[in-house]
């Protein structure tokens, strides 16, 4: 049975053949075109309002009734970062460089810089169309497709796709990476590591969004700062090589001096696909948690989620890329994924490197598991209110898919992830292209209030009379 999950198994070969061309090129073209459109239409919001993004992280929650337990802007940021900052930052970057060469890093940067505008649009729309749920808010692409586009079948399709993408495909990737890292660093059998990970995951996901938010707001800052500090130490130790690293990235990005043997197409594809897996801009994931935040204006959470893209790709992914390129180990093709990152750190800081990466990836990927689970729960609740459905989701997510990731091959879990990532992203991009005009109007309203001297802009649905009936929480 395990053989079908191996690199040579029929399941892996079938999915890889599907991913080879069609979905990759359609996805990349759609992402770039949408990102460019949103960047120009918002007048480069991701660059002009960086200061406002940082300021909003410390702002208190919006107004709500006494006794309600809303998620703060920082907690929403932390949960989205928990999902973003994970396997893609340590293993995904390594895989991209191993296959496409150092130039893949350049394309990861580009998709992050442009894609942050897409992240702004989707999270702003999620806030606009969010709904009240028990003692908190709930929302995301399924909700703005239903209430904004009035397309019931497409909203259900998205809810199904994102649940399969994050609660099944992506969680298996996180589990696979944790188990691989632990096996190399501590010789722990992947099966037993999978069992332990499943138990921990079930404990957290059964606590709901409040527990997920609390755990993420503690874990994420600590693990991100620790990893960045280690990367800076490696960079300072090799400061004389930094100009060479930048030269390799730029030359390789445009097909000059290919080192890893990847063509220009492979370089772009791997950089953009791994960049998307890491920062999730346009994928429709972060809007699910962005909608839960209590704030006074939809644009605020849009700006905060844009900052999340920068934090993920330009900071954490770049740390991994610099460590790997400085080591030079990507050229021999002997390792990929998390193993390459561990080998690179071992090369630079000694035998403690793989151990540190194993510990770091545990916290990175485990926080991603619980963050990814919430995206599935929010969308299952959209499809049905039956408690039994949530129970089944928690068992499948925290138990079965974690175990599947532990025993499946690296190629198989990434191939499944790429396939579902393409489907859910294209579905979300259609929606935000259609509804983007409302996000533009919200941004104009926010900027006008700021220019008028309002420190904390407030949105009221009466300012959009044409869609007032579709808006519930403002």
Q: Residue 308 corresponds to which tokens in the numbers above?
A: 């999340």
In CATH, which of 2.60.120, 2.40.128, 1.10.10, 1.20.1740 is domain 2-58+69-470? 1.20.1740
In terms of Cα–Cα distance, which of 72, 5, 79, 73 is closest to 373? 79
The 10s digit of each residue's pLDDT in 370-429 is 777 777 887 888 888 888 888 888 888 777 888 888 888 777 777 777 788 888 888 999
What is the sign of the dihedral through the CA atoms of 410, 413, 416 and 417?
negative
**Token pair 């209430």: residue:** 147
pLDDT of the residue at 342: 73
Parts of the chain with a pLDDT under 70: 1-24, 60-73, 78-88, 134-135, 205-221, 223-224, 255-267, 269-270, 273-279, 333-338, 349, 352-353
Distances (CA, A) of 33 to 30, 282, 433: 5, 12, 10
Q: Residue 418 corresponds to which tokens in the numbers above?
A: 């790429």
* Domain ranges for the chain: 2-58+69-470
CA distance 55 to 57: 6
pLDDT of the residue at 128: 95
Model pTM score = 0.81
In terms of Cα–Cα distance, which of 23, 91, 109 is closest to 413? 91
pLDDT of the residue at 84: 64
pLDDT of the residue at 233: 84
Under 8 Å CB-to-CB from 470, ≥6 apart: which residues? 129, 147, 148
**Token pair 């709901």: residue:** 208
CA distance 291 to 277: 21
pLDDT of the residue at 315: 79
């Amino acid at each position: 049975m395990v053989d079908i999950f191996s690199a040579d198994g029929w399941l892996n070969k079938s999915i890889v053949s599907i991913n080879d061309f069609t979905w990759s090129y359609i996805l990349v073209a759609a992402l770039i075109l949408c990102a460019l459109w949103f960047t120009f239409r918002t007048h480069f919001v991701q660059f002009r309002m960086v200061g406002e993004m940082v300021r909003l992280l410390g702002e208190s929650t919006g107004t709500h009734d006494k006794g309600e337990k809303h998620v703060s802007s920082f907690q929403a940021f932390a949960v989205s970062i928990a999902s973003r900052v994970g396997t893609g930052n340590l293993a995904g970057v390594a895989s991209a460089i191993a296959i496409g060469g150092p130039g893949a890093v350049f394309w990861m940067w580009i998709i992050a810089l442009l894609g942050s505008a897409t992240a702004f649009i989707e999270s702003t729309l999620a806030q606009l169309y969010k709904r009240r749920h028990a003692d908190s808010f709930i929302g995301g692409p399924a909700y703005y497709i239903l209430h904004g586009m009035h397309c019931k079948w497409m909203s259900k399709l998205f809810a199904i796709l994102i649940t399969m993408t994050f609660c099944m495909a992506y969680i298996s990737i996180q589990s696979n990476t944790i188990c691989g890292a632990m096996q190399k660093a501590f010789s722990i059998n992947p099966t037993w590591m999978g069992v332990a990970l499943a138990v921990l995951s079930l404990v957290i996901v059964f606590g709901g969004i409040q527990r997920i938010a609390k755990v993420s707001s503690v874990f994420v800052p600590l693990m991100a700062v620790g990893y960045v500090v280690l990367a800076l130490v490696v960079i300072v130790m090799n400061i004389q090589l930094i100009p060479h690293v930048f030269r390799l990235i730029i030359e390789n990005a445009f097909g000059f001096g290919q080192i890893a043997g990847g063509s220009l197409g492979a370089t772009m594809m791997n950089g953009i696909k791994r960049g998307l897996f890491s920062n999730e801009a346009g994928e429709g994931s972060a809007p699910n948690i962005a909608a839960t935040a209590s704030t006074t204006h939809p644009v605020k959470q849009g700006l905060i989620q844009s900052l999340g893209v920068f934090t993920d790709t330009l900071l954490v992914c770049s740390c991994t890329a610099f460590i790997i390129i400085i080591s030079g180990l990507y050229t021999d093709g002997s390792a990929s994924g998390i193993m390459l990152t561990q080998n690179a750190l071992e090369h630079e800081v000694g035998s403690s490197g793989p151990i540190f990466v194993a510990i770091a990836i545990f916290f990175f990927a485990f926080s991603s598991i619980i963050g990814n689970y919430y995206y599935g729960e929010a969308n299952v609740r959209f499809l049905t209110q039956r408690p039994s459905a949530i129970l089944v989701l928690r068992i499948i997510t925290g138990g079965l898919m974690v175990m599947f990731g532990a025993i499946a091959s690296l190629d198989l879990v990434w191939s499944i992830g790429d396939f579902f990532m393409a489907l859910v992203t294209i579905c979300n991009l259609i929606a935000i292209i259609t509804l983007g005009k409302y996000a533009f109007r919200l941004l104009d309203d926010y900027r006008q209030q700021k220019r008028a001297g309002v420190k904390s802009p407030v949105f009221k649905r009466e300012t959009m009379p044409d869609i007032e009936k579709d808006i519930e929480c403002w």
